Structures are given as C-alpha cells and as structure tokens.
Structure 1
Amino acid sequence: MTPLPQTASVDVYVNEVAGLNTQFDIFRFMKRLTEAYRSRAFMVLNLPSATARDLQSNTVITNWPAELLSAYDHEALLTNSPVVRRLRASTIPFFNDLSIGKFERSDGKSGIVSALFERFRMMRCAYFPTHDASGMRGAVLFCGDREPFAAEEMLELHYISTHIYDRLAEIRALDNRVVDALTDREIDCLNWTAAGKTSVEIAEILGLSEHTVNHYLNRATKKLDTVNRTQAVAKALRIGLIK
C-alpha cells in the first residue's frame, strides 16, 4: 500500500475504507491516515458508559503507546474526563489543546493529564463522534503536537471517521457470523492446532481419525475465508474464537 497523500480526495479514503476486510487492514490504514494529517497517534473507541473505569477496555483499535494507555488507566483518568463527557453530550467534532487547559477537570488531575500527554507529544487532539447502524456510539481520535486542524481538515476527518467506525462494525458483524457458523469440533481442532498439535496428535486427543481432523480443519479454513490452517488459526485468535 502506498502512503496516503493529505491532498487526496476524501472519496479516495472512503473508497479504500469500504474495501478493507479486517481490523488489521483498518489499523494499517489509520496509521497512514494519521501520518498524512501530520498527527502522531489515533484511537477508535466505543463511547465509554458513565460507569466505565478504564479506557483500554473501550478501545477498538489504537496505536497509542502502551505506556500511555497503562498510565492513563492507572491514574483512573477516564473517570471525570471532561472530553468523554463532551463526547457523550454532543455529536459535533472538536479540538482540544491540553496546554491551553480549555477542559478543566473537577478532580484536580488536570496537571497529571497534561504532563502525561506532553511526555508523548500528544497535547493536541481532534475528536470525531461516530455511530454505527445499530446505534452504538463511539469516537475517532487523532493526537499529536501539530497546529490545530483547519475547518476543512476537521470536515474531512469527520466524514472519514464515520466510514471507519461503520466499517469496523460491519467487520465485527461478519466475524460474529463466522463464529456462529463453526461447529464445536471445528473449533476444537483449531484450538489444538493453535497449541502446536499435528493432525495425528489431534486425532488421538479427540478420538477421531486423522482424515476427519483434516476435514474439520479444511472446513474451518474455508468458513474463516483463509487459505490455510495457519491463517485460520491467526484469524480465529484475532476474532476471539479461540484463545
């Protein structure tokens, strides 16, 4: 995939999003989009409930530094977050510069937030509220240390973000249908394959013939829309079918 030029038509981005088939595809696209708009990091999240305690469990995909995410949740910064509060109350995109302190916290942790994001050069963030066809609400974030986005850039990214969140919902729905389609035996065979067992060993463990095990694995590979059992195992792990 070639880098995405910032000057490309928004339709170019949206058409590419429509052709992405996995969360990993969208992750790679988002990294390139983030770079094209001169930001440092992105996040796609489901809007946390009022009682949610951590950000990581509400994150769909992100390239935020793991240390930043861990520290954010360790300090319980999601609770009383004025940014999340605004996302719950409005569907209008907005830009926040932590160095200005526009959104003050009621818990006295504004300094902690500023120091944490300044450390990773992510003081300026653009937020784009989104939702999918089922009504699930979320947001797409772009953070870094560039100047505030121009109005045109905010409009472009809002439109693209809507398509990204919707496509992720479609991919999750497809993955869920795959989970429903696989039989218990097919999942068993995938689990043992993931554990490093050969077809002969799986046959002995499950009390089946080697031919039957291969049949189950071939069917699982086809249902998961993959080309071999290695890819089938990788996809099954990604969508939570096996652990």
Structure 2
Amino acid sequence: MVDFSGYLSSIALPAAQRIAETRRIAETMTREADVRQALEQVMRAYGFQGFMVMVVPGKACRSLSEAVVMTNWPKDFLASYDAASLMAGSPVIERLRRSTIPFTYDTTLDSHMRADGKGNAVLRLFERGNLRRGVYIPTHDVHGTCGAVAFAGNREAVNPGELKELTFMAGYLFSRLSELKEMRSRVPGGLSRREIECLHWAAAGKTTTEMAKILALSEYTVNHYLSRATRKLDSVNRVQTVAKAIRAGLIN
C-alpha cells in the first residue's frame, strides 16, 4: 500500500522540492489500486466525499460511464446520470472539451445554465450523492490523452491555494495511472505463473542456480522463463524486466 499522506505534508515545501517529492511517491505506485488509495487520501484530506478520473468524452459520446476510468462515486450515480441522458447538455463536460484550466463547480448554480430543462434532475441527483460542490482538473498523459480528475462533496468551494495544490497532485496521479494501464496492456496474454515466480526470485537477488534449486527446475528452464518474460515486457535485460514487472504490479 502506498501512503500519499507524506506528500500532503510537503505542500509547504519550495516548488522544486514538491515536484521531486511527488515524483518519488508516484514512482512507488506499482498498481492501479495504489493510485486509487492516493486519490482517496487526497479526497479525505481536503474534505471531499468522492473522486473521479475520466477521459474527456468526444462530441459523439453520450454516456458518462464510458468516459470514467476510476471513481468511488455512488454505484448508482453513473447509471442514473446516463439513464437521464444528462451528459449531452452538461456545461461541465462542454467546458472540459474546450479548456485546460481547472475550475470549481456548484450544482445549485451550474444546473441553471443548462438549456435542456434538466437542471432540476441534475440538482436532485448530485444532492442525493452528496456531490453538490467540487472541482474539475483537466490533465493529460504523455501521449496527449485529455482527461480530468474531479473531487466532489458538500464542503465549501475550494480556495485558490487549495486549487493549486489539487491541480499539482491530480496531474501526477493521472499520469501515473495512465502509465500503469499502458504497462498492463503491453503484456499480450500476461506472464505465466512460472515467469512471475522466476521474476519474483530474480527481484529478491537470487541467481539462476539458486532459482533453479528453489523452484526445482533446471537452469536452462529458468533462463527460458526469464527470457520469455523479457520479450513480453519488451525489455533489453533481466534488470529492466524486473523493474518493469514491479512497476506494472506483476510482482511485489
């Protein structure tokens, strides 16, 4: 498990130190569950009740569920939102499509900006989910994928200082989540149980001879499994293969 609270206490540090600390913590996240945990820690630290990570939907997309990458919003929220076809007239979604500037929202105020007459339905849904006010932070990954991280609840509007801090953290968490998803997708059929076992012992510093004794295999077979894992993870040597496997959450 990754404890992101250490970063929260470093917000008062100079910018260069904050960047280094955030990168260090992000790099220790080897599973998507680690990113979820970090988002939940940030959410609680700032007094929100929910978070959502999404890819900004295109004009042809009519379902918010299709755009959501990770969230802890109430399970029935997205289903109700999509059943009522609320995304098409959403001023929030439209703003995310045309701007990269973080912004706050207040459902009580913003619902009246809808031109489709569904403002009251939106207000009731967000009130029921305790998600009346919050912030949307546009972000992107190294491939240019446009996304957003949202934090929501019933607390008062975030102040400029909080918005700056949340923007800084959201950018790194979105990027790390994208990296982990990409790593997972790069393994076409995944690693076999034996390949993972060999990598586990390689990560523990065992030699081929030692691994062969531990796993009751020949040294040739151990090298075969390690070579196959290296090809699957598109690595150049055993050290890089182990590093990629750890970062992808394939081994601990």
1:44 — aligned with what? Answer: 53
1:1-243 residue pairs with structure 2 within 5 A? 4=5, 6-9=8-11, 10-11=18-19, 12-101=21-110, 104-179=113-188, 182=190
Say if 1:82 and 1:103, in contact at 8 Å, map to a contact too.
no
CA distance in 2, matches of 1:3, 1:90: 29
| Corresponding pairs, count | 198
**TM-score normalised to structure 2 length:** 0.69
CA RMSD of aligned residues (A): 2.9
Tell me the amino acid that sits aligned with residue 70 of structure 1.
Answer: A
Q: 1:4: Cα distance to partner? A: 2.2
Moved more, 171-180 or 78-87: 171-180
Tell me the amino acid that sits aligned with residue 83 of structure 1.
Answer: V
CA distance in 2, matches of 1:22, 1:7: 23
Q: 1:44: Cα distance to partner? A: 0.6
Which segments of 5 or more consecutive residues in structure 1 lack a partner in the other structure? 188-210, 227-233, 236-243
Say if 1:14 and 1:160, in contact at 8 Å, map to a contact too.
no
Identity %: 32
Q: Deviations over 1:165-205 (max 9, x none)?
A: 1111211221122227x58xx59xxxxxxxxxxxxxxxxxx
CA distance in 2, matches of 1:116, 1:102: 11
Tell me the amino acid that sits aligned with residue 99 of structure 2.
Answer: S
Q: 1:102: Cα distance to partner? A: 6.6
Q: 1:14 to 1:155 in 2, by over 3 A?
A: farther
CA distance in 2, matches of 1:81, 1:33: 26
Q: 1:120 to 1:102 in 2, by over 3 A?
A: closer
Tell me the amino acid that sits aligned with residue 135 of structure 2.
Answer: A
1:231 — aligned with what? Answer: none
Secondary structure at the aligned position of 1:108 is classed as: coil
Secondary structure at the aligned position of 2:89 is classed as: coil
Say if 1:125 and 1:143, in contact at 8 Å, map to a contact too.
yes
Secondary structure at the aligned position of 1:107 is classed as: coil
Secondary structure at the aligned position of 1:50 is classed as: coil
CA distance in 2, matches of 1:132, 1:3: 20
Q: 1:7: Cα distance to partner? A: 4.5
Q: Structure 1 runs of 4+ off > 6 angstroms?
A: 218-226
Which segments of 5 or more consecutive residues in structure 2 lack a partner in the other structure? 12-17, 194-216, 234-240, 243-248
**TM-score normalised to structure 1 length:** 0.72
CA distance in 1, matches of 2:110, 2:62: 23
Q: 1:3: Cα distance to partner? A: 6.9
Q: 1:37 to 1:221 in 2, by over 3 A?
A: farther
Moved more, 94-103 or 82-91: 94-103
Secondary structure at the aligned position of 2:143 is classed as: coil
Secondary structure at the aligned position of 2:136 is classed as: strand
CA distance in 1, matches of 2:154, 2:174: 24
